[in-house]
C-alpha cells in the first residue's frame, strides 16, 4: 500500500521500465526520421497455463517435467463428499437479484460437512450479485467459466468488523473496517478456484469515497482470510477490488497460483496479493495489473505489530508478471513491524513500473527484514539476438532534423539490412549516419549512408534497385 508517502526509508532494486532492445531502437529511430506513423500495441502477458482444478478432483501433484513450484505448501485433499449449486439455495444469476441470503444459506448448510468429507459450492454461468459472505472449513468455492460474482454497491451491506490486532485500527481510518467480500476466519482446507470465473468488487464506488475524502471506515478487501490453514486460490480472475485484493493474514500454508488480478492503474491501494504475518505462502504464475504493489509482503505496523510479533516468513514469489505505474512488482514493507524473513523472489517480469522490488520501512516501525533472495535463473546475459534481412524502401522524409542511428549489439548479428530509394530532406548532404555493429546494403539513399551499409557481396542481390 502506498498511502504513506513521507519519511519512507526504501531500497529500490531494479528499474521496471521495459527493456530497450537495440533493434527496437534502430527501427524506431528510422521511423521517426522517415516521418512514418506506426501504431504499436503493448503485448499483454497472461499467466502460464496450469491444470484447472475441476469439480470432484483433488489438487494435482507436480511431476518431474513441471516447472519448479512451491504449490506443495497446500496439502492435497480428497474429493468433496457434498457438491451443490448456488441455485439449490435460491440463487438467481441475472445480475440484479441479490444472492446474499442464498450464499449465507449455502454456507450454513455446508458447515455441517466440516470433518465429514467436506463440501463444494458451484457457481454456474451467470452474474451473481451479492454482499459479503463468509466461508467455512473443508470447503471449495468453484466458479464455472462464465460465472461472474458481482459485489454489492450498497455500503450498508458491508458490515464493520474489528481492526486487526497487528494494526490496532483501520488501515485508512480509525476504528473498525469493512469486511471483505469473500471472508474467512479460523478456517482450514479451503479451495477457491474455477474455470476462470470472475469476481468483480465494483471498486469504483469505494475509490471515489477515498478520492472525495468521504470514506468513514477502511475499505474492505476482495478476499481476506484470517488465521486460516491449508488454502488454495487458483484459476480465477479478480478485478476492481475496493482495497487490497487478496489478503491472507495470520495464515499458514497458502498457495495463490494461476490468478489474473486486474484494477485500473490509478485505482488507489488496489494491491494484488498481500501476505501479512503469514507463513509458508506460495505466490506463483500470476498476472497482475494494479494501482499499487503487485505483491506486498507485510507483518503489521508500529507498536501494534511490534507487540504482536507475528512475522511473515517462508514466502515464495515466482513467475509473477504485470504492471503498476507508481509502485513495485514486489514490495517488502513498509508494514513490517512483526518482522519479515526467508523471502524468495524468482523470475519476476514487471514493466512500466516504479520499481521491480522495493524494500521499505519508516521510523517507529521496528521489526526486521532478513534473508531475502531475488534471482532470475532463466536469464542468460550471453544470449544475444540475431537479426537478418530487414528491408526499408521507397521513403521520402521532409523536415528531417538528424541522420539515422543504427546501433546493434556487440557480439550479436545484425546483418542483411537493406535500405533503398530513401531520401531525407532537411539535413545537409554532409551529415553522417551513426552505425555500430550492423551490416547491410544501401542503394539510392540520401544522404550517403555509413560504410557498414556498403556491403557488395553476392548476397546483396535481394537488395538491388527494383
Q: Where are the domains of the chain?
A: 82-374, 387-465
274 is catalytic: no
Per-residue pLDDT, 457: 53
b/e 241-262 (16+ beta carbons within 10 angstroms → b): bbbbbbbbbbbbbbbbbbbbbb
Superfamily of domain 82-374 in the CATH hierarchy = Single-stranded right-handed beta-helix, Pectin lyase-like (2.160.20.10)
Closest CA to 416 of 466, 444, 457, 465: 457
- As a whole number of angstroms, the distance between CA 183 and CA 226 comes to 8
Per-residue pLDDT, 19: 40
Cα-based torsion angle of the residue sequence 135, 295, 51, 116 in order, rounded to the nearest 10 degrees: -20
- As a whole number of angstroms, the distance between CA 143 and CA 149 comes to 8
Instruction: Count CB neighbours of 457 within 10 A.
Output: 8
Does residue 251 contact residue 211 with C-beta atoms inside 8 Å? no
pTM of the predicted model as reported, rounded to 2 decimal places: 0.74
Residues of the chain with pLDDT under 70: 1-66, 455-462, 465-466
Question: CA angle at residue 339 from 337 to 340, to 5 degrees?
Answer: 125
Residue with cell 506506426: 38
Beta bridge partners of 154: none
Of the candidates 292, 293, 347, 452, the residue annotated as catalytic is 292
Does residue 138 contact residue 119 with C-beta atoms inside 8 Å? yes
Q: Give the single-character DSSP code of 57.
A: -
Per-residue pLDDT, 142: 98
How far are the Cα atoms of 137, 305, 335, 351 from residue 325, in angstroms, in the given order? 38, 29, 21, 9
Amino acid at each position: 500500500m502506498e498511502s504513506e508517502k513521507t519519511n519512507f526509508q526504501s531500497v529500490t532494486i531494479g528499474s521496471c521500465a521495459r527493456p530497450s532492445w537495440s533493434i527496437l531502437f534502430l527501427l524506431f529511430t528510422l521511423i521517426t526520421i522517415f516521418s512514418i506513423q506506426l501504431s504499436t500495441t503493448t503485448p499483454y502477458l497472461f499467466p502460464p497455463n496450469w491444470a484447472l482444478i475441476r469439480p470432484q478432483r483433488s489438487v494435482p501433484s507436480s511431476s518431474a517435467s513441471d516447472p519448479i513450484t512451491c504449490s506443495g505448501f497446500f496439502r492435497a485433499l480428497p474429493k468433496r463428499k457434498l457438491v451443490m449449486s448456488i441455485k439449490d439455495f435460491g440463487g438467481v444469476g441475472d445480475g440484479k437479484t441479490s444472492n446474499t441470503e442464498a450464499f449465507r444459506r449455502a454456507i450454513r448448510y455446508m458447515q455441517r460437512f466440516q470433518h465429514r468429507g467436506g463440501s463444494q459450492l458451484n457457481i454456474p454461468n451467470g452474474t451473481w450479485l451479492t454482499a459479503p459472505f463468509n466461508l467455512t472449513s473443508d470447503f471449495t468455492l468453484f466458479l464455472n467459466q462464465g460465472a461472474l460474482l458481482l459485489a454489492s454497491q450498497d455500503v450498508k451491506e458491508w458490515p464493520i468488523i474489528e481492526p486487526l490486532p497487528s494494526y490496532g485500527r483501520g488501515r485508512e481510518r480509525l476504528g473498525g473496517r469493512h469486511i471483505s467480500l469473500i471472508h474467512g476466519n479460523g478456517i482450514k482446507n479451503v479451495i477457491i478456484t474455477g474455470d476462470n470465473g470472475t469476481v468483480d468488487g465494483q471498486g469504483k464506488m469505494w475509490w471515489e469515497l477515498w478520492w472525495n475524502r468521504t470514506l468513514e471506515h477502511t475499505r474492505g478487501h476482495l478476499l481476506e482470510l484470517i488465521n486460516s490453514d491449508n488454502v488454495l486460490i487458483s484459476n480465477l480472475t479478480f478485478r476492481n477490488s475496493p482495497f487490497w485484493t487478496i489478503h491472507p493474514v495470520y495464515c499458514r500454508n497458502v498457495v495463490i497460483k494461476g490468478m489474473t488480478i486486474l484494477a485500473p492503474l490509478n485505482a488507489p491501494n488496489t494491491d494484488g496479493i498481500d501476505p501479512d504475518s503469514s507463513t509458508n505462502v506460495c505466490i506463483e504464475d500470476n498476472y497482475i495489473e494494479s494501482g499499487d504493489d503487485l505483491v506486498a509482503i507485510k507483518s503489521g505496523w508500529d507498536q501494534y505489530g511490534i507487540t504482536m510479533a507475528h512475522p511473515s516468513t517462508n514466502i515464495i514469489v515466482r513467475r509473477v508478471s504485470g504492471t503498476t505505474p507508481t509502485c513495485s512488482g514486489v514490495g517488502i514493507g513498509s508494514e513490517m513491524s512483526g518482522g519479515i524473513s526467508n523471502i524468495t523472489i524468482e523470475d519476476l517480469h514487471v514493466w512500466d513500473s516504479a520499481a521491480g522490488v522495493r524494500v521499505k520501512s519508516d521510523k517507529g516501525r521496528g521489526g526486521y527484514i532478513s534473508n531475502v533472495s531475488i534471482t532470475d535463473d532463466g536469464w542468460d546475459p550471453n544470449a544475444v539476438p540475431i537479426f537478418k534481412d530487414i528491408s526499408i524502401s521507397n521513403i521520402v522524409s521532409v523536415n528531417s532534423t538528424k541522420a539515422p542511428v543504427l546501433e546493434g549489439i556487440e557480439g550479436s548479428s545484425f546483418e542483411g539490412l537493406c535500405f533503398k530509394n530513401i531520401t531525407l530532406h532537411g539535413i545537409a548532404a554532409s551529415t553522417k549516419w551513426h552505425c555500430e555493429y550492423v551490416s547491410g546494403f544501401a542503394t539510392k539513399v540520401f544522404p550517403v549512408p555509413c560504410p557498414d551499409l556498403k556491403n557488395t557481396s553476392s548476397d546483396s542481390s535481394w537488395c538491388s534497385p527494383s
